[in-house]
Amino acid sequence: MRIILNCEFFSIELISRASLNALHAMSRILLALLFTLPTLLPAQTLNLYSARHYQSDEALYADFTKTTGIKINRLELGDDALLERLRAEGKRSPADAVLLVDATRLWRAQQEGLFSPVDSATLRERIPATMRADDGSWYGFSTRARVIIYDPAKVKREQVDTYLKLADPVNEGRLCTRSGSHPYNLSLFASVLERLGAERTKAWLSGMVKNMARAPVGGDTDQIRAVASGECQVAISNSYYWVRLNLSDKPEDREVVSKVAMLWPDQDGHGVHVNLSGGAVAANAPNRESAVRFLEYLASDQAQRYFTAGNNEWPVVDGVDHGNPALTALGEHKVDPLPLAKIASRSPQAQQLLDEVGYR
């Protein structure tokens, strides 16, 4: 039964008891849905393309999710493969944030338009200008130094305490390195090019080629092992490879450490060359807000300490106490103040010089 009363200003609809009970039941269902709706909606997500392959970063990602509630979907590839994927995906790419482990690669991706600049007061204030792109396309979050490893039984420290001395005739037949074109070396050579110019840098690279004990091969740890085995007497390595061997409990690693020494190059000059791990927001990020929050999180004190504890890298944020005894044990050192973006811009010319002198 339904009765409708109409007046000039309103109408009233009287509903039967059965209809009223049905309405109450429906209201209860709607109320229940209201309380469960947040769990039915998709959570905030971040699609991360990362060239960092360190197990210790798991804690970093987990803390970001705990802090922000943003879930991370992660794809890990090498730097070059990761960038090639971004190029191939184009505007269809699901990538929100990108992590790479070299300033030169970050710069190249910036030039190709693979990143979207971020104007963040937090990042500008916390990341030094020398550790980021001028336009905010990418930011550095941790650093590692390019150090010199040598055999103290066969080589005097003063013979190899600068990068330029690696080309001196006294070191003929002593040197071993990984490929000159590898970004870790290419960034170092680009920094020398920025300071010395093309002619002097080419002469230096030519001298290094003449001093090779064998053709460039392997990674940085292989170079340290080659010095320990006597295959060569001098090598170049990223600092964290040296620290890993020092922290290892494997007898073969301890034996390597006992036979070689490490030094900070150019401490009486401009300082040791450093490179970085850095991040950016992808050009076509579907979750841009999440990506920006991720970069800002990486600049936090807590995240900076994760980088240090996990892979024995230095924080880029001034004043952060890394709290890593293994890094403290390495001692104080002077860092080359050249902006890494400027160094990276020199990498194409540095590669050309490598080709000209036959440094493979």
Do residues 327 and 312 lie in contact, with contact meaning Cβ atoms separated by under 8 Å?
yes
pLDDT score recorded for residue 3: 35
pLDDT in tens, 111-124: 999 999 999 999 99
Query: Taking 70 as the threshold, does the pLDDT of residue 4 lie above it?
Result: no
Query: Taking 80 as the threshold, does the pLDDT of residue 134 lie above it?
Result: yes
Query: Taking 70 as the threshold, does the pLDDT of residue 78 lie above it?
Result: yes
Residue 216 CA from chain centroid, whole number: 25
Share of the chain above pLDDT 70, in %: 88
pLDDT in tens, 205-229: 999 999 999 999 999 999 999 999 9
Q: How far apart are CA 229 and CA 221, in angstroms?
A: 12
Provide the token pair at 102.
């070299």
Local confidence band at 200 (pLDDT 50, 70, 90 cut-offs): very high
Provide the mean pLDDT of the chain: 90
> Which CATH number is associated with domain 45-143+274-328?
3.40.190.10
pTM of the model as a whole: 0.85
Query: Taking 60 as the threshold, does the pLDDT of residue 290 lie above it?
Result: yes
Query: Taking 50 as the threshold, does the pLDDT of residue 37 lie above it?
Result: no
Q: How far apart are CA 303 and CA 67, in angstroms?
A: 11
Residues 6+ apart with CB under 8 A from 18: none
271 DSSP β-pair partners: none
Query: Taking 60 as the threshold, does the pLDDT of residue 165 lie above it?
Result: yes
Local confidence band at 321 (pLDDT 50, 70, 90 cut-offs): confident
Q: Which CATH class is domain 145-272+344-357?
A: alpha beta
Termini Cα distance of the chain? 92
- DSSP readout, 117-148? ----HHHHHHS-GGGB-TTSS-EEEEEEEEEE
Helices 251-259, 220-229: crossing angle, 10 deg rounding: 70
Nearest to 282 by CA among 76, 89, 122, 78: 89
pLDDT score recorded for residue 22: 53
Greatest Cα-to-Cα distance within the chain, rounded to the nearest angstrom: 109
Do residues 78 and 51 lie in contact, with contact meaning Cβ atoms separated by under 8 Å?
yes
Local confidence band at 34 (pLDDT 50, 70, 90 cut-offs): very low
pLDDT score recorded for residue 11: 38
